[in-house]
Amino acid sequence: MAVRLETDHRKVLIYDEMTSPDVAEAAAANAPVIVALGATEHHGGHLPLSTDTYQGLDMGRRASALLAKEGIPLIVGPAIPFGPPPFLSETPRPMPGTITVSNDTLRALLQDVCKSLIRHGFRRIYLLLANVESEFAMHIVAKELTETTDANIVVLNWLIGIRPKYKGMLVSDKPQGHGGEGETARMLATAPHLVRMEEARPYHPNLPLEPEVYGDFLPYLGGAIGRYRFDRDEFRGMFDGISDGITGDPQLATAETGEKSYALIAEWIASVVRFDLRP
């Protein structure tokens, strides 16, 4: 293949850097493709708008590098840099910069991207969650295309996949969400020149101490139910005092934690691909 796989996570097979003959050769060799779904949205005053997209691409590159050592050519496909409106977009002051698409638009766009890859001959496509709100569209597209084509589409939600091991590597003992310690640490590892640590501010929602139903938190906070409208008294005022949409302790982030986090995520992604491609 014209584009060589390397072991360094910055020298893997990148779809955008390939030529048309490279793509044809990779598809003929049954190479899988990973597509990250990122976002262009506010991440406080310390992280860039493209934070989710940067992370998704780096996760894919690092997983691809691990698999390259085993002779598995995972192609890092083009990222989708837009997602549905973030839940924390309605804050006391405007959050300029966020660009959103509707759930229907994202679903249609992702479906067309996957159909293009399928037309080129790719039969295994991994959709990598890099923006929480995109998960709903991802599952619909994966299910419909897997049922209507001869391709296999897999959704990768690393937030759930690494949860048992993730919490212990963070400094903070409180839930970390949008723009918190975890995201900030990964951006310090990926693009430190874009992180403004002097602008990092902590914020913690007023969470109920004992939810009536286990997992009754927003996905950003480690929950699983995902209710987006709260009417019960104990949830009123949950985000009182929030100013920039950040939840967590970004000022505690370090590049070392980011590297450890990426290593855990990349290995989990690689393990899914290994299992999926087993003889």
At 66 the three-state DSSP class reads helix
pLDDT band at 8 (very low <50, low <70, confident <90, very high): low
Number of H helices, E strands in the chain: 8, 4
| pLDDT score, position 43 | 92
Instruction: Band the pLDDT of 3: cuts 50, 70, 90.
Output: very low
Q: Tell me the mean pLDDT in the region 99-106.
A: 95
Q: Work out the burial of residue 248: count CB atoms within 10 Å of its CB; fewer than 13 is exposed, 13-18 middle, 19 or more buried.
A: buried
Least confident of 94-103, 208-217, 232-241: 232-241
Among 54-58, 86-90, 201-205, the least confident range: 86-90
**157-192 burial: b if 16+ Cβ within 10 Å, else e:** bbbebbeeebeebbebebbbbbbbbbbbbbbbbbbe
User: Percent of the chain scored above 70 by pLDDT?
Assistant: 80
At residue 157, the pLDDT reads 93
- What confidence category does residue 118 fall into, taking pLDDT thresholds of 50, 70 and 90? very high
Categorize the per-residue pLDDT at 142 as very low, low, confident or very high, splitting at 50, 70 and 90.
very high
* CATH superfamily membership of 15-274: Creatininase (3.40.50.10310)
The pLDDT value recorded for residue 229 is 55
Tens-digit pLDDT profile for residues 219-236 = 555 555 555 555 444 445
Q: Where are the domains of the chain?
A: 15-274
List beta partners, residue 36. Answer: 128
Q: What is the pLDDT of residues 49-77, one digit of tens each?
A: 999 999 999 999 999 999 999 999 999 99
Strands (E), 120-199: 124-129, 152-156
pLDDT at 2: 37
Other CB atoms within 10 Å distance of the CB of residue 222: 16
Sorting pLDDT into bands at 50, 70 and 90, what band is 237? low
Question: Which of 90-99, 126-135, 259-268 shows the lowest mean pLDDT across its residues?
Answer: 90-99
| CA–CA dist 254, 93 (Å, integer) | 28
Contact criterion met (CB below 8 Å) for 169 and 257: yes
Whether 48 and 111 have beta carbons less than 8 Å apart is answered as no
